[in-house]
Amino acid sequence: MSPNIRTARSRSSSGYFLLDTTPSFPRDEVSGLTGVAQPVITHVALTKTVAKHWGEERWLVTEGAPFGFKVIHLTAGHRTSLQYHRRKEEANLILRGSGTLYYAPSPDEPLLQRPLVVGEIVHVRPGTVHRIEADTDITLVEVSTPELDDVIRLADDQNRADGRIDAEHETGSAS
């Protein structure tokens, strides 16, 4: 470990964190540091919410970020579009609930299905057809490449078109 890094005990828990005591950056009265990228800290209640017919998406990073990061809630008995992406790649971690994943390696192949449960990660590569149907309310986290408008819908319960649905984003809000 670097001589400028020391381990300190957190007063709020029994865990440890690393404290960097390197005095190499000029200090600033407002941020504490200058010349260094500062983290952006936002409360989840202040993030963008996009209402969907099947539930909602909470966008945890702003549009234009180099990646997508969302918390998605699917309401029991509802399902996402049957869709694929040309460029977007995503991974979804099931945090709560259960459902069914429908998938196919490409649009020309028959759909397969399997149950989804808490703790499973679904990695969806470009071209993979996929849909999630919620047996119970589902909460999942999605992390993806930044092509958030790259959606080709093969079937949709609301007959939505491909791509971004602007009306959903106009009614979406930071609540």
Where does the pLDDT of residue 175 fall: very low under 50, low under 70, confident under 90, or very high at 90 and above? very low
pLDDT above 50 for 174: no
Render pLDDT for 111-150 as a digit per residue (tens, 0 to 9). Answer: 999 999 999 999 999 999 999 999 999 999 999 999 988 9
**Which residues are within 8 A (CB) of 170 and not within 5 positions of it... i.e. 6 or more apart?**
none
Closest CA to 56 of 44, 73, 76: 73
The answer to whether residues 68 and 145 touch, using CB atoms and an 8 Å cutoff, is yes
What mean pLDDT, rounded, does the chain reach? 82
* Distance between CA atoms of residues 167 and 150, nearest Å: 17
Where does the pLDDT of residue 10 fall: very low under 50, low under 70, confident under 90, or very high at 90 and above? very low
Residue type, 62: T
| 112 to 102, 105, 115, 140: CA distances (angstroms) | 6, 9, 11, 21
Burial class of residue 154 in the structure, from the number of CB atoms within 10 Å of its CB (0-12 exposed, 13-18 middle, 19+ buried): middle
Query: Which pLDDT score, from 0 to 100, does residue 162 have?
Result: 80
Place of tokens 């699917």: 74
What pTM value is reported for the model?
Answer: 0.73
Domains and CATH numbers, the chain: 44-168 (2.60.120.10)
